[in-house]
Amino acid sequence: MDEAVYQAYKRAGAIAREARDYGQSLLKPNATYLAVATAVEQRIQERGGRPAFPVNIARNHIAAHYTPTATDPLVLNSGDLVKLDVGVHINGYIADTAVTHEISTSTHTKLIQAANEALDHAIAIMKPGVPPSDIGKLVETTITGYGFKPIENLMGHSLTQYELHSGLSIPNIGAYASRRKPQEGDAIAIEPFATTGGGHVISGEGSNIFICVDSFKTHLVRDRALKQTYDRIRSAFSTLPFASRWCRPFLPHNSDLPLRRLARLGVIREYPQLREEHGGMVAQKEHTVIVTTDGCEVIT
């Protein structure tokens, strides 16, 4: 890995770590999703980074993919099990990290420990050439040892410049076949998910998180104002996910309707919320690592 690229990853990781920990300190009863997300995103920018994706706040049976709207009324409650997922980039080089926090109670301490320990074990064996299935098996064994299940259809992922999911997957179960293996210099986000449910997530409602997906379909955008809105969004966010609330400067009358129209045309896509199929509680822990000659370096 080029030294300048390495330093960009390291800086992104340091900012992401600070922003994640700061965000966790804000997870208290009656805190609004919007206040937490905007405070964390502001902290990222104050430290010289840029959000690689909107701050995700997912509670209880929601495993991932929710960010508040600009007028979101949702608040956190005592007993909520909250996943806070934070991404930072420096010149497109991304650090991705997440933590689970139970608000004011300790009902799910073991579930959180299961995810945390699974991540520690995965990091311990990450190195060039290790089969992803070996990592997945260790994650699975660790989580099931606590009496819970790993989420089989959520995975860690490699990171490249301006690409949040760049091809290599790191599973949470052993029954996963992959020809591709980690190589020295890879940046990889490892993220075990543990649940009290059945171990599978399904798509739910919209998340208020979007991504530009198919520039070839822009000829379908015949309305000049709508095309101008799309062009401004594409210029601002490129290939990275963005929040509907981030688009307010581009949207007439503060309406999300243009985003919905662009999604129907297929030029942007909204991520669905991912919920545990059987309503199980979900815990997550995530770090980004850089694979080294004989191991890996945690940067978050």
**Residues carrying an active site annotation:** 85, 96, 157, 165, 191, 286
Q: How far apart, in whole angstroms, are the C-alpha atoms of residue 113 and residue 188?
A: 22
Q: How far apart, in whole angstroms, are the C-alpha atoms of residue 260 and residue 256?
A: 7
Angle, helix 3-25 to helix 33-46, in steps of 10 degrees: 150
∠ CA(103), CA(99), CA(88), 5° rounding? 130
224 CB contacts (<8 Å, ≥6 apart)?
none
For residue 219, what is the DSSP state? G
* Torsion angle of the four alpha carbons 139, 12, 230, 263, in this order, in degrees rounded to the nearest 10: 10
Distance of CA 280 to the CA centre of its chain: 20
Structure token digits, residue 39: 């405070």
For residue 140, what is the DSSP state? H
Provide the 10 A C-beta neighbour count for residue 122.
27
Quickly count helices (H) and strands (E) in the chain. 6, 15
Which H helix or E strand runs over 286?
none
Instruction: Tell me the backbone φ, ψ of residue 89, rounded to 5 degrees.
Output: -130, 150
